[in-house]
Structure 1
């Protein structure tokens, strides 16, 4: 199945996911550039990485957002977002042995449309835009060595799930997205 078929088959967890799922599907059906940053609304992915005991998640201190954040990145033309998510996890944290947990169709754990304010990156202005985000769930060992990616983050650490929302300086992300990702964990078999 293709990503669009997986998203069509995905069962939303809540109203946010249902509404955002429709926005993502519309973009995929109408914008031939939805996988490229040239589009104001483009595909991105995240990976919610937990330890085997599902007590902690791996977070980075994201320089752009000035906040502890989940891990993710742009599709940049790639259509295998699960592969992109694992690549981003390794690039941003050094974790190379994580495994994706099969959740919904195509392994999708969550869907969201995320706003990104205009900002400077590598000396150039990047206009405000939307990330049409597909989130995957991964399990990794907290014993694996961690490292920062200085051009994107200045910290990497395992965070107790009870502390995630308090660490975020982004209220909407904390209450709507991180809280949802944590709540969804109880129904998932980590295998």
Structure 2
């Protein structure tokens, strides 16, 4: 199943997700390069909401650019298999290898505004991340490692602690939504 079909078949959690799903599908019909950063207006990213086995904790990393605790994820960079991207980013950014998707299905959709910033000495213009999130399970006893060019700490947090630790108001809303969905699964 291709990315457009996956997004089309996703059942939104609430009205905001339904609107973002609609916009993502429209962008997929409008642009042919949404899987690469060549599209400086909007491009796909994939994130992992990494939970322990009993779903009581999540992995958060202290993000160097945003100076905030955040989820794990990254750019598609041409890879249409966004679950693969989420798993790859999980390993790269946390060092965790005992990981598996809870499901191959999309867990959440978000359109995230990214403010202008500098990365690796290069200016990056304000743009949108068309983000697809997957629920990933990991072994909370496995040692984590940082990825110095992206984060300076990685640790397990209780669900509520993860939301509180984030200093980005718009991301707190996203993390709360992810936790609320998780609590419904128990």
- Looking at structure 1, the residues matched to 163 and 48 of structure 2 have their Cα atoms a distance apart, in angstroms, of 17
- Looking at structure 1, the residues matched to 64 and 19 of structure 2 have their Cα atoms a distance apart, in angstroms, of 29
- Looking at structure 1, the residues matched to 14 and 171 of structure 2 have their Cα atoms a distance apart, in angstroms, of 15
Secondary structure at 2:19 match in 1: helix
Alpha-carbon distance, 1:20 to partner: 0.6
Out of 177, 181, 186, the position equivalent to 1:184 is: 181
- Looking at structure 1, the residues matched to 16 and 166 of structure 2 have their Cα atoms a distance apart, in angstroms, of 20
Q: Where do 1:99-118 residues align within 5 Å?
A: 99-102=100-103, 106-118=104-116
- Looking at structure 1, the residues matched to 42 and 11 of structure 2 have their Cα atoms a distance apart, in angstroms, of 22
1:95 and 2:96 correspond = yes
Alpha-carbon distance, 1:25 to partner: 0.8
Tell me what 2:20 maps to. 20
Out of 159, 163, 166, the position equivalent to 1:168 is: 166
- Looking at structure 2, the residues matched to 187 and 100 of structure 1 have their Cα atoms a distance apart, in angstroms, of 18
Tell me what 1:34 maps to. 34
Q: How many residues align?
A: 185
TM-score w.r.t. the length of structure 1 is 0.94
Secondary structure at 2:107 match in 1: strand
- Looking at structure 2, the residues matched to 153 and 165 of structure 1 have their Cα atoms a distance apart, in angstroms, of 18
Task: List runs of 5+ in structure 2 lacking aligned partners.
Answer: none
Regions of 4+ moved over 4 Å = none
Provide Cα deviations, 1:121-149, integer angstroms capped at 9, x if missing partner.
11110111100000000110111110000
- Looking at structure 1, the residues matched to 114 and 4 of structure 2 have their Cα atoms a distance apart, in angstroms, of 23
Secondary structure at 1:48 match in 2: strand
- Looking at structure 2, the residues matched to 24 and 81 of structure 1 have their Cα atoms a distance apart, in angstroms, of 14
Out of 111, 116, 120, the position equivalent to 1:122 is: 120
Q: What is the CA RMSD across the aligned residues, in angstroms?
A: 1.0
Tell me what 1:8 maps to. 8
Tell me what 1:55 maps to. 56
TM-score w.r.t. the length of structure 2 is 0.97
Alpha-carbon distance, 1:188 to partner: 3.0
Task: List runs of 5+ in structure 1 lacking aligned partners.
Answer: none
